[in-house]
Amino acid sequence: MLLSDKMWKALNEQVKWELESSYMYLGMAAYLNDCSLPGFAQWMREQAKEEVEHAMRIYNYIEERGNRVELLPIAAPAKEWADVHEVFQKSFEHEQFVTGLINNLVDIAVAEKDHATSVFLNWFVTEQVEEEDTFRAVLDKLSFVKPGCSALLFLDKQMGKREEA
């Protein structure tokens, strides 16, 4: 059964946001690597991969419902941040924004009485709780690190141990 036009457009838009998130995290990885923080950079590269997986999950769902995916343009990511703390603060705020987008998709699915899409989106609702919690936890750790402190190098090493998504 085809998606309603409203649901189809919203899901295509979400594919764009997931890919834009990936692009943003890759930009952050490049910045962090340039700051000689390879562990944080690796962590962000893994996050970028995870966002592509989210995009593909929606992409595949659109096709499974018999619709065609319409790829939309994505914005270039920022290139500079004040420091690693700002990188993760902006990431956390971005994940909160994405949570709002996912919640809007659920609202559309409910309004359109699209039960299949509503069930499909439950995974994303749960995933966003995890995403926000993960970024909040990193920010909590970074709050203990003062500029120029060697603890940042220890945390960088720990962040580099993130397993592939």
Domain count across the chain: 1
The DSSP code for 82 is S
pLDDT band at 149 (very low <50, low <70, confident <90, very high): confident
Task: Look at residue 123 and tell me if it is in a domain.
Answer: yes
Over residues 26-78, the pLDDT tens digits come to 999 999 999 999 999 999 999 999 999 999 999 999 999 999 999 999 999 99
Task: Look at residue 155 and tell me if it is in a domain.
Answer: yes
Task: Look at residue 11 and tell me if it is in a domain.
Answer: yes
As a residue count, the chain comes to 165
133: Cα separation from own chain's centroid: 12
Task: Look at residue 165 and tell me if it is in a domain.
Answer: no
Task: Look at residue 164 and tell me if it is in a domain.
Answer: no
Over residues 93-119, the pLDDT tens digits come to 999 999 999 999 999 999 999 999 999
d(CA 53, CA 129): 17
What does pTM read for this prediction?
0.93
Any idea what the CATH number is for the domain that residue 149 is in? 1.20.1260.10
pLDDT band at 161 (very low <50, low <70, confident <90, very high): confident
Query: Per-residue pLDDT for 155 more than 60?
Result: yes
Task: Look at residue 145 and tell me if it is in a domain.
Answer: yes
Contacts 24+ apart (CB under 8 A), 113-116: 114/3, 114/4, 114/7, 116/1, 116/65
CA distances from 64 to 4, 35, 83, 103, 124 (A): 14, 43, 42, 22, 17
Structural domain that includes position 86? 5-159
